[in-house]
Amino acid sequence: MVRQRDEQTNQNGNAGRTERWSGIRVGRALGVDIFIDWSLIIIFTLILLNLALGLFPLWHPEWSPALAWGVAFAAAVLFFISVLLHELSHAVVANTHDIPVRRITLFIFGGMAHMEREPPSARSEFWMAIVGPITSLVIGFVATSIGVFLAGDAFARHPDDPAAAAREIGPAATLFLWLGPINILLGVFNMVPGFPLDGGRVLRSILWWATGSLEIATRWAAGAGRAFAWLLIGTGVFMLFGGLVPLLGGGPVQGLWLVIIGWFLNMAAQASYQQQMLSSGLSGVSAGDIMLTRFETVTPDTSVDELVRDYIMGSDQRVFPVMRGGSLEGLITLTDIREVPEAARGETRVGDAMTPAGSLVTLGPDVASADALQQLSTRGINQIPIVADGRLVGLVRREDIVKWLSFKSQRPDDAAVAQRLRR
**φ and ψ of 33, to 5 deg:** -75, 135
* The pLDDT of residue 378: 64
Q: What kind and span of H or E run contains 156?
A: helix 154-157
For residue 41, how many other CB atoms are within 10 A of its CB?
12
DSSP result, 274-333: HHHHHHHHTTT-BHHHH-B-----B-TTSBHHHIIIIIITTSS--EEEEEETTEEEEEEE
* The pLDDT of residue 23: 64
Residue type, 325: G
Long-range Cβ contacts of 87-90 (<8 Å, 24+ apart): 87/111, 87/112, 87/113, 87/132, 88/29, 88/30, 88/32, 88/113, 89/131, 89/132, 89/134, 89/135, 90/128, 90/129, 90/131, 90/132
The correct answer on CATH 3.10.580.10 for the domain covering 287-408 is yes
* The pLDDT of residue 343: 83
Instruction: Measure CA 65 to chain center.
Output: 37
Interval 53-111: pLDDT, tens: 888 888 888 888 899 899 999 999 998 888 888 888 888 888 888 777 777 777 766 66
Gyration radius from the chain CA atoms:
26
Query: For residues 16 and 240, what is the distance between their CA atoms, to the nearest angstrom?
Result: 46
Residue among 93, 201, 182 at smallest CA distance from 141: 182
**φ and ψ of 31, to 5 deg:** 80, 10
**Segments of the chain scoring below 50 in pLDDT:** 1-21, 410, 412, 415, 417-423
- The angle, 0 to 180 degrees and rounded to 10, between the axes of the packed helices 65-96 and 40-50 is 140
* The pLDDT of residue 206: 92
Assess contact for 408 and 414: CB atoms under 8 A: yes
CATH 3.10.580.10, the chain: domain bounds: 287-408
